[in-house]
Amino acid sequence: MDTRRLFFQHVAQTSDAPIAIHIKKAAGSKLWDDAGNEYIDLIAGISVCNIGHRHKDVVDAIKKQSDQYLHVLVYGEMIESPQVQYALLLSEHLPSSLNSVYFTNSGAEAVEGAMKLAKRVTGRSDIIAFEKSYHGSTQGALSLLGDEYWRNAFRPLLPSVYHYEYNTYDVLNSINTNTACVVMETIQAERGVYKPSASWMQAVRKKCSETGTLLILDEIQAGFGRTGSLWGFEQYEIVPDILLLGKALGGGMPLGAFIADKNLMNHLTHDPVLGHITTFGGHPVCCAAGVAAFKHLLKKEMVKKVAKKEKLFLKLLQHPAIKEVRTCGLLIAVEFPEEAFNKRIINYCIRNGVLTDWFLFAPDCMRIAPPLNISTKEIQSACATIIKGLDELYYA
């Protein structure tokens, strides 16, 4: 079977230049293609595989649950132990006000559900989001997305969504009693790893509380230890009204969630009944995988080791071609002089066994977001390949 030809012929494409490596196996921080070539994975499926690819605990949990039952009924009707176990586990490791979990299929669907919940709770329609933010590609999430290049082709989108510059105080004057929610990333990942100030985050939290506006924090990329703390918002000493999770949530399986206080979440149960529904959200196999992954993350104390690995990347990624390296734990952007150069070094890395990528709103930056359990040896090897490529390309 000519899999490559069939991929381009029958699998819907998202760009005219996909990476198009035929992956045959993945384990830990490594991938292997159909020709037997090995790759160090520096992007972890875009922050999905936080404990590595195909971890034994996760695979065992998938097998065990698949022997019991798969899908049985639409979400929320039957008592499914993996959902209950995971909701409890998450609640036990979150602030007390984040105690009710609505599982979805993806992060984008979590965004959609959270927007509906905010409108239902507040009775308001205005939503504030931020430039250079990314929340997904569904119609509602796209309305929040902070870049007109990506939005324009799909207009009209949701009305009453207002965009402001991230980490600037102008937005405070616009949060008022007409605002249902403020939706923002804890760290702007697709901007190229852009961190806000703690004082600004706290000011937004305060203004939301004063006006009865719900603060929705998107930790779809930042969650599960990637920033060096279990949840990114811990670093700012604030608590959102609604927390958005995805990517690493399922341990490599598709899963998202929006989490709020039970008193808020109950608004989706009446007027109308079934105010938010999903067929496959919180699939029992995905939840079982997520439980196993989260328990392993906690048991091995991977989060405590993130800062040391972050420092190692910073130490090794030094070269005249690099303008700046921005980090938030193991979410790293390596900025180059221009987009074209970045694409060349990314291609070099892939040809030489290191898988990396770029950022949607920062195409001049290389994305590094490896599994959190990537080894020191793997970090050294990957960085050596990057530096070697820079030597060849920058001085050519």
d(CA 225, CA 171): 29
- In the structure encoding, which two tokens stand for residue 75, read together? 């979400």
Place of tokens 């930042």: 222
**pLDDT tens across the length of the chain (396 residues):** 899 998 989 999 989 889 999 999 999 999 999 999 999 999 999 999 999 999 999 999 999 999 999 999 999 999 999 999 999 999 999 999 999 999 999 999 999 999 999 999 999 999 999 999 999 999 999 999 999 999 999 999 999 999 999 999 999 999 999 999 999 999 999 999 999 999 999 999 999 999 999 999 999 999 999 999 999 999 999 999 999 999 999 999 999 999 999 999 999 999 999 999 999 999 999 999 999 999 999 998 899 999 999 999 999 999 999 999 999 999 999 999 999 999 999 999 999 999 999 999 999 999 999 999 999 999 999 999 999 999 999 887
Ordered structural domains, the chain, with CATH = 3-54+301-394 (3.90.1150.10), 57-299 (3.40.640.10)
pLDDT at position 215: 99
d(CA 298, CA 60): 18
Cα four-point dihedral sign 33, 29, 329, 285: positive
Strands (E), the chain: 23-27, 30-33, 38-41, 100-104, 126-130, 161-164, 179-185, 214-218, 242-245, 256-260, 324-327, 332-335, 354-355, 357-359, 362-368
**CA 259: distance to chain centroid?**
15
pLDDT at position 178: 98
Judge if pTM exceeds 0.85: yes
385 CB-near residues (< 8 Å, 6+ apart): 40, 349, 352, 353, 354
Q: Residue 96's CB: how many other CB atoms inside 10 A?
A: 8
Cα-based angle 122, 128, 129 (whole degrees, multiple of 5): 135
179-185 vs 214-218, strand pairing mode: parallel
DSSP assignment letter at 375:
-
Place of tokens 């586990």: 89
d(CA 78, CA 272): 20
d(CA 332, CA 357): 11
